[in-house]
Amino acid sequence: MTQRLTIRRPDDWHVHLRDGAMLEAVLPWTARQFGRAIVMPNLDPPVTDMARARAYRERIHATLPEGAGFQPLMTCYLTDRTDPDDLALGHAEGVFTAAKLYPAGATTNSAHGVTDIANIRPVLERMERIGMPLLVHGEVTDPEIDIFDREAVFLERVLAPLRRDFPALNVVLEHVTTAEGVAFVEEGGSGLAATITPHHLIINRNALFAGGLRPHAYCLPVAKRERHRLALRRAATSGSARFFLGTDSAPHTVERKESACGCAGVWNAPFALEAYTAVFDAEGALDRLEAFSSENGPRFYGLPLNSGTVTLERSAGMVPERIGEVVPFGAGESFGWSLAADA
């Protein structure tokens, strides 16, 4: 049985680092594991232009622990009024790596999101032309649609037409949660990929109701039935270059989670690699972990692979019940692996 595993340093292609005190609390955990991360722009107010992205990137750099070699890759929050010129300039100047589409009202701080794809056609045309990736929160917001069907309906109503209209646009279906999403990505042409979170690989929707209401298992897109979890595990461990690591680590304080209207989000950053490793181990696919974690993402984005490595070792180490004001994913349990100290 493999006891130690050394892989090229991975990246997190979808993370919420927040701002202020929360940024200070969570950034060291992400910087400990990952070389780079695609930083989500859903702050309040959101990161909608180059000036805000530059300022946010500076705050992240100022908060990094001494000597951390971590690189934040910034994204632009698309709105109905996004200026294609600002976006393209931001991409050319290396401020924006990608742009994020939140359908208005789909999730945390998405009120300023896009109300209709028709409103951003000039933006998408420009992105397609300059080779700037579009990152998609793939859920419709129509209250008539059952919350467990919102991803599948998004594929039909929004993503399929978008792919037809902008065939050369590189698109990442973020945090895919359904068998339909997996099939859509597998059958799509080149230029289509998906990130997969550790929690969607590990829990199904039963976790939300295990012995009572479990706010720490609640995120968006919400976890689905077991057959969807199994489809995600198959996709992640299949070796397909279209699937790569994106934690969607999304911290909220205990108070905001354990509330009459609890926030969506799972904070998995402290033990993200341990969680993914446990999944690949259980699937007999440890030899495919490195491609998923460290190769497929940079290749999709056209970025170099990281040069360092990290080492994981089998360990009975437990995830703490709480770290500061936030409950981490897997609290009180062990993933059976831990990041070696020399990593």
Size of the site for Zn ion (CB under 5 A): 1
Q: Does 306 bind ligand DOR (CB under 6 A)?
A: no
Residue 98 CA to residue 297 CA, distance in Å, equals 13
Q: Tell which one of 30, 33, 42, 338 touches ligand DOR (CB under 6 A).
A: 42
Q: Does 237 bind ligand DOR (CB under 6 A)?
A: no
Binding partner of 265, given ligand DOR, Zn ion, none, CB within 5-8 angstroms per partner class: ligand DOR
Q: Which residues pair with 326 in a beta bridge?
A: 323
Number of other residues whose CB lies within 10 A of the CB of residue 146: 10
Torsions phi, psi of 172, nearest 5?
A: -115, 120
Smallest gap from residue 341 Cβ to ligand DOR (A): 31
Of the two residues 41 and 126, which places its CB atom closer to Zn ion in the complex?
Answer: 41
Query: In this chain, which stretch among 68-76, 89-97, 231-239, 261-269 interacts with ligand DOR, using CB under 6 A?
Result: 261-269
Torsions phi, psi of 200, nearest 5?
A: -70, -20
Contact (Cβ atoms closer than 8 angstroms) between residue 180 and residue 157: no
Q: Does 91 bind ligand DOR (CB under 6 A)?
A: no
Binding partner of 204, given Zn ion, ligand DOR, none, CB within 5-8 angstroms per partner class: none
Size of the site for ligand DOR (CB under 6 A): 11
Strands (E), the chain: 4-8, 12-15, 36-39, 71-77, 96-101, 134-136, 171-173, 192-196, 243-245, 309-314, 337-339
**Residue with CB nearest Zn ion?**
248
Q: Tell which one of 265, 270, 298, 330 touches ligand DOR (CB under 6 A).
A: 265
Binding partner of 108, given Zn ion, ligand DOR, none, CB within 5-8 angstroms per partner class: ligand DOR
Whether the bond into 270 is cis, omega within 30 of 0 = no
Q: Does 254 bind ligand DOR (CB under 6 A)?
A: no
Sequence-distant (6+) residues with CB within 8 A of 158 are 103, 117, 138, 140
Smallest gap from residue 215 Cβ to ligand DOR (A): 11
Smallest gap from residue 264 Cβ to ligand DOR (A): 4
Per CB under 5 A, contacts with Zn ion among 235-294 are 248
Q: Does 49 bind Zn ion (CB under 5 A)?
A: no
Residue 263 CA to residue 252 CA, distance in Å, equals 7
Q: Does 16 bind ligand DOR (CB under 6 A)?
A: yes
Of the two residues 169 and 250, which places its CB atom closer to ligand DOR in the complex?
Answer: 250
Q: Does 12 bind Zn ion (CB under 5 A)?
A: no
Smallest gap from residue 62 Cβ to Zn ion (A): 23
Q: Does 22 bind ligand DOR (CB under 6 A)?
A: no
- Quick one: DSSP state of residue 156? I
Residue 288 CA to residue 234 CA, distance in Å, equals 12
Smallest gap from residue 267 Cβ to ligand DOR (A): 9
Residue 120 CA to residue 84 CA, distance in Å, equals 9
Q: Does 139 bind Zn ion (CB under 5 A)?
A: no
One-character DSSP codes across 93-114: TTSEEEEEE-BTTSSTT-TTSB
Which positions are annotated as active-site residues? 248
Supply angle C-alpha 306, 308, 309, rounded to 5: 110
Q: Tell which one of 23, 27, 43, 250 touches ligand DOR (CB under 6 A).
A: 250
Residue 89 CA to residue 96 CA, distance in Å, equals 9
Binding partner of 264, given ligand DOR, Zn ion, none, CB within 5-8 angstroms per partner class: ligand DOR
Residues near ligand DOR (CB under 6 A) are: 16, 42, 107-108, 137, 219-220, 250, 263-265
Residues near Zn ion (CB under 5 A) are: 248
